[in-house]
Amino acid sequence: MTAAKPKAWLARLLLALLMTVTLLPFLSMFTAALAPSGSYPNGLSWPDDPQWNNFVKAFEAANMGQLLLSSTLIVLGVVPISVLAATMAGYGLAKLTGGRNKWIYLVFVAGLTLPFEAVITPLYYEVRAFGLLNTRFAIILPLIGLYMPFSVYWMRAHFLNVPNDLTEAAQLDGATRWKEFWLVQVPLARPAIMSLTILLFLWTWNQFLLPVVLVRDPSLRTMAGALGAFQGQWGTDVPLLCAGSLLILAPTVLLFLVFQRHFVAALLQGSVKG
């Protein structure tokens, strides 16, 4: 008991420290967002005259309403298809391929090692060749492809853990592969599907590089991609940039609050299954 107490305090101190380190940038962004537009606020100083309407200005300057819609469309284009394809592929790789075809899975693993930034230039020419430059498809289609290695890996890991007896029981019960997949495997995979959905949503929402490179019209980009709007020809409006960033963060924070339980599960799953 007496030995545990100092340890507990030490743990709390560490947690508090970590929390401060994590929160400081946000606090700094928040105070900076309240500084007069066009100024260069420094550090953590609370402005004398907080400019709350910076948020309104940022919302209007970056055309946030339009961007919110655009981001939503992109997320809706990317996430359901990715999750569906990854679930089917994961099941196929875990349960239906064996022996000589096991190597197929390694192709996806190879995809995992590919850094995003390395493919951006070839991607640009490819998207241009398809004539999709400057459309939302320029973001949606590459993202689906880029997410596949991780997503398939994730779902395969789940399906590997489902006992084969269940598959066999379903087969003997008269299920075709397709019915077994939808009626037995998918309901059981719900936690894995849920966490994958959340992760893909976050990554899509925060996608910055791809929209900036492949789409010139900011109203077709994701919200994060719209941050470029605050980098003018003659400099950057720091307070508006900060206010805009906070606005962009808001939906993910809201989502987190709603799906908190699943988020934690998603992260734990990652830690176990690697």
Partner 1 sequence: MAGLKLQDVRKNFGAVEVIKGVDLEVEHGEFVVFVGPSGCGKSTLLRMVAGLEETTSGRIEIGGRLVNNVEPRDRGVAMVFQSYALYPHMSVYDNVGFGLKLAGTPRDERDAKIRAAARVLQMEHLLDRKPAQLSGGQRQRVAIGRAIVREPDVFLFDEPLSNLDAALRVDMRMELARLHTDLGATMIYVTHDQVEAMTLADKIVVLQGGIVQQVGSPLELYNRPANLFVAGFIGSPKMNFIEVTVDGTTNDGVRVANSLLASPALVGQRQGMAPSDTLTLGVRPHALQLDDTGPIGGAVTLVERLGNETIVRVRLDAATEITAALAGQREIALGEPVRLGFEPVDAHLFAADGRRL
3-state secondary structure of 132: coil
Largest CA distance in the chain: 74
For residue 267, what are its two tokens?
């992260």
Nearer to partner 1, 39 or 176 (CB): 176
Binding site for partner 1 (CB under 8 A): 163, 165-166, 168-176, 179, 183-184, 187-188, 190
Nearer to partner 1, 130 or 182 (CB): 182
**At closest approach, how far in Å is the CB of 70 from partner 1?**
37
Distance (Å, rounded) from C-alpha 53 to C-alpha 34?
8
**At closest approach, how far in Å is the CB of 193 from partner 1?**
13
Nearer to partner 1, 148 or 162 (CB): 162
**At closest approach, how far in Å is the CB of 104 from partner 1?**
21
With contact defined as beta carbons under 8 Å apart, do 28 and 197 qualify? no
With contact defined as beta carbons under 8 Å apart, do 108 and 149 qualify? yes
Of 254, 253, 240, nearest to 63 (Cα)?
Answer: 240
With contact defined as beta carbons under 8 Å apart, do 212 and 225 qualify? yes
Nearer to partner 1, 183 or 209 (CB): 183
Of 150, 180, 32, nearest to 85 (Cα)?
Answer: 150
Distance (Å, rounded) from C-alpha 212 to C-alpha 134?
10
**At closest approach, how far in Å is the CB of 165 from partner 1?**
4
Nearer to partner 1, 95 or 136 (CB): 95
**At closest approach, how far in Å is the CB of 156 from partner 1?**
20
**At closest approach, how far in Å is the CB of 172 from partner 1?**
5
Tell the residue number behind the tokens 């190879």, with chain if given: 110
Nearer to partner 1, 143 or 184 (CB): 184
Kind and range of the H or E run holding 114: none
